[in-house]
Structure 1
Amino acid sequence: MKALSKSLLWLLSLALLAGCGTSETRTHSSPDGSVVQHVGQSGVKDDQSKPNVVQIAVSSKDHGTLVAALKAADYVDALTNVGPFTVFAPTNAAFDALPVGTLETLTKKENQRQLRDILEYHVLLGVYKSGDFVNGRKMGTADGRPVEITVNGDGTVLINGGKIIATVEASNGIIHVIDRVLVPN
């Protein structure tokens, strides 16, 4: 009986691992000959729920460059998951302020991991509202490196010198719009 339980547990674990695949779109033919397409979390259509961080970025005219970078880094599905996340979202103008050629280089397929690391540097696990940030505190990002928080006397919050200029709540976290792309040291 113990061997059967172990075998069932092993099969269940294997099935769960198989279900946690990549964000790739997969297709196969069903028994009736029709093509069935499986997409990652970002492909789930839901017009009833509050939008997630990616849906908010996609709907923002100020975040087209960020959305393009998320797609190039294959990071869209990760940020559409349950979270919760705190995302520091640089504006298009913040990306424009990068040295010439930086974004073009990072969005090349061979630099996908480096771009993803930079995007993960803009994500904290958990929800942190502006009032939760403490001056001088270092907080670990999804890429493992810390960002430094500065809270000025007027209450302005800076993340590695990037100013939070707006905040939007999402179904899976919170977005702080910032005026600078955070580049890890």
Structure 2
Amino acid sequence: MKKQIAILILFLVPWCIQGCGEGTSTESSGNQVQPKKLSGQSAVQDADSNPNVVQVAVSSSDHSTLVAALQAAEYVDALTNVGPFTVFAPTNVAFDQLPKGTLESLTKAENQRRLRDILEYHVLLGVYKVEDFVHNRKLGTADGRSVLVSKSEDGSVTINGAKILGTVSASNGIIHIVDQVLLPE
């Protein structure tokens, strides 16, 4: 009996210690705001399908600020359930380039509509691959405004001056990783 209790303790103690170390940090560094855990439809995981644009962003450590902004603007479900669309996804470094305090101000409840407008400015309806972009062409965004595409001779593309650093396909669209936050005029 003592041997069984000792074995049980050997298994339970590490498990309890591991559980004590779990938790989420709410600290932010620089302009970064930490994302919350997804819930509802956006939290559904399907091992058989490709991830949607939100799941791709959540899985990228370079886009935690974008995910937090999507959550603060209550825009996660819209990008989870519909499509196809093209998303210009600023990196955490891009958000850090905003003036100090800008992101913190935008993620406050009273600025939710403004934040959502900015995020919608990063979304095009339909799928636009890099090779589909035409130089000096304006494309309509989800917020009703437009962005200007510039394409150089070497094939590199900028959107309102933000350089596309890479592209990731998703089940409901495509994501172009950009080095700047796009701000509507």
TM-score by length of 1: 0.78
Letter in 1 for 2:126: G
**Hey, what does 1:184 align to over in structure 2?**
184
For 1:43 and 1:90, locate their aligned partners in 2 and report how far apart those are by CA, in whole Å: 22
Deviation, 1:48, is 1.7
Equivalent position SS for 1:70: helix
**Hey, what does 1:15 align to over in structure 2?**
none
**Hey, what does 1:173 align to over in structure 2?**
173
Deviation, 1:154, is 1.1
Letter in 2 for 1:122: H
Deviation, 1:125, is 0.3
Query: What percentage of residue pairs aligned between the two structures are identical?
Result: 73
For 1:48 and 1:177, locate their aligned partners in 2 and report how far apart those are by CA, in whole Å: 25
Letter in 2 for 1:171: S
Deviation, 1:138, is 0.3
For 2:89 and 2:106, locate their aligned partners in 1 and report how far apart those are by CA, in whole Å: 17
Letter in 2 for 1:182: L
For 2:113 and 2:181, locate their aligned partners in 1 and report how far apart those are by CA, in whole Å: 17
**Hey, what does 1:24 align to over in structure 2?**
none
Deviation, 1:40, is 4.3
For 2:150 and 2:49, locate their aligned partners in 1 and report how far apart those are by CA, in whole Å: 34
Gaps of 5+ in 1: 1-38
**Hey, what does 1:74 align to over in structure 2?**
74
Instruction: State yes or no: 1:105 paired with 2:105.
Output: yes
**Hey, what does 1:116 align to over in structure 2?**
116
**Hey, what does 1:158 align to over in structure 2?**
158
Deviations for 1:40-97, whole angstroms, at most 9, x for unmatched residues? 4314332221000000000001000000000000000000013001000000000000
For 1:114 and 1:134, locate their aligned partners in 2 and report how far apart those are by CA, in whole Å: 29
Instruction: State yes or no: 1:96 paired with 2:96.
Output: yes
Deviations for 1:13-62, whole angstroms, at most 9, x for unmatched residues? xxxxxxxxxxxxxxxxxxxxxxxxxx743143322210000000000010
- Equivalent residue pairs, number: 147
**Hey, what does 1:62 align to over in structure 2?**
62
Equivalent position SS for 2:147: strand
**C-alpha root-mean-square deviation of aligned residues, in Å?**
1.0
TM-score by length of 2: 0.78
In the TM superposition, structure 1's runs of 4+ consecutive aligned residues that sit over 6 Å from their partners are none
Letter in 2 for 1:97: Q
